[in-house]
């Protein structure tokens, strides 16, 4: 695994203001159950219909951290891609996301700061009813050029 070359995402000098990415994700029960199992989060608002029906939400909602996971994944896979890292995020969740709903995520590069090697990306999420369910800004460090490793470097192992 150490010697396998991984294609990196785009470097800072390959990014431009105005670039956009759109992803559509359906909030499936299987994904919710994986999250709950991984985190041991038993919040009844996420899984218990009888409890959630008594709240202002009226039915179980998707944990916001799952939506943040989709954002992180999009940065790691696409914009700027593998090797990038989120430095900061300021995200609001004006409306809840319900189980089985679909969210369209929109990403737009609004600033490329070559000097500090930071890309500022505006992100928003829109549900099936065309309502904004999340909005915010993330600052991303794109992948950096790495020194190539050859087989002889690891001879001491």
Q: pLDDT grade, residue 29 (50/70/90)?
A: confident
What is the token pair recorded at 103?
């969210």
User: Edge-to-edge strands of the sheet including 85-92?
Assistant: 20-26, 102-113, 118-126, 132-141, 85-92
pLDDT score at 154: 55
- Per-residue model confidence as pLDDT tens digits over 87-129: 999 999 999 999 999 999 999 999 999 999 999 999 999 999 9
Domain 12-27+64-145 has what CATH class?
alpha beta
Domain boundaries, the chain: 12-27+64-145
Reported as a single tens digit per residue, the pLDDT across 45-94 is 998 899 999 999 999 999 998 999 999 999 999 989 999 999 999 999 99
Structure tokens at 63: 């944990």
Residues 26, 67, 75, 137, Cα dihedral to 10°: 130
Angle formed by the axes of helices 64-77 and 29-39, nearest 10°: 100
């Amino acid at each position: 695994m150490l010697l396998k070359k991984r294609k990196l995402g785009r470097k800072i000098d390959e990014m431009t203001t105005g670039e956009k990415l759109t992803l559509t994700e359906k909030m499936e029960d299987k994904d919710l159950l994986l999250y709950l199992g991984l985190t041991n989060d038993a919040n009844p608002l996420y899984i218990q219909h009888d409890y959630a029906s008594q709240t202002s939400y009226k039915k179980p909602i998707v944990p916001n951290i799952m939506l943040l996971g989709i954002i992180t994944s999009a940065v790691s896979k696409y914009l700027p891609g593998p090797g990038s890292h989120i430095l900061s995020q300021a995200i609001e969740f004006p409306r809840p996301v319900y189980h089985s709903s679909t969210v369209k995520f929109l990403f737009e590069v609004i600033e490329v700061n070559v000097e500090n090697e930071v890309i500022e990306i505006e992100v928003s999420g829109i549900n099936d009813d065309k309502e904004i369910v999340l909005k915010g800004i993330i600052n991303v460090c794109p992948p950096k050029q790495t020194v190539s490793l050859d087989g002889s470097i690891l001879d001491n192992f």
